[in-house]
Amino acid sequence: TEVVIASDEAEGSRLAALIVAAQIRTKPNCVLGVATGSSPLALYEELAAQKRTFDASGIRAFALDEYVGIAPTHPQAYRAVLLRTFMRPLGLNESALSVPAVEPFTLERTGVDYEQRITDAGGIDLQILGIGTDGHIGFNEPGSSLASLTRVKTLTSQTRADNARFFDPPDSVPVHCVTQGIGTILRAKHLLLLAFGETKARALAAAVEGPVTASVPASAIQLHPHVTVVVDEAAARELL
In this structure, the strands spanning 60-63 and 31-34 are: parallel
Alpha-carbon distance of 4 to 75, in angstroms, equals 33
Check binding of 39 to ligand F6R (CB under 6 A): yes
Which residue in the set 35, 90, 173, 227 belongs to the binding site for ligand F6R (CB under 6 A)? 35
Contacts of 240 (CB under 8 A, 6+ apart): 205, 209
Q: Does 138 bind ligand F6R (CB under 6 A)?
A: yes
**Minimal CA–CA distance to 65: which of 146, 149, 125?**
149
Contact flag: residue 36 with ligand F6R (CB under 6 A): yes
Q: Which of 130, 135, 181, 217 touches ligand F6R (CB under 6 A)?
A: 130
Give whichever of 55 and 94 is closer to ligand F6R, judged by the CB atom: 94
Nearer to ligand F6R, 138 or 181 (CB): 138
Residue 151 corresponds to which amino acid? R
Q: Which stretch binds ligand F6R (CB under 6 A): 20-28, 128-136, 148-156, 225-233?
A: 128-136
Q: How far apart are CA 90 and CA 236, in angstroms?
A: 30
Nearer to ligand F6R (CB atom), residue 1 or residue 158: 158
Q: What is the dihedral of CA 124, 108, 80, 182, to 10 degrees?
A: -40
Distances (CA, A) of 192 to 35, 72, 106, 126, 198: 10, 26, 30, 7, 19
- Contacting residues for 76 by C-beta, under 8 A, at least 6 apart: 67, 70, 166, 167
Q: How far is the CB of 36 from ligand F6R (least distance, A)?
A: 4
Residue closer to ligand F6R (CB basis): 38 or 50: 38
The one among 24, 137, 201, 203 contacting ligand F6R by CB under 6 A: 137
Q: Is 139 in the site for ligand F6R (CB under 6 A)?
A: yes
The yes or no reply on residue 132 touching ligand F6R (CB under 6 A) is: yes
Q: State yes or no: residue 38 binds ligand F6R (CB under 6 A).
A: yes
64 touches ligand F6R by CB under 6 A:
yes
Shortest reach from residue 64's CB to ligand F6R, in Å: 4
Instruction: Render 53-93 in DSSP notation, one character per residue.
Output: GS--TT-EEEESEEEESS-TTSTTSHHHHHIIIIIGGGT--
Residues contributing to the site for ligand F6R (CB under 6 A): 35-39, 64-65, 130-132, 136-139
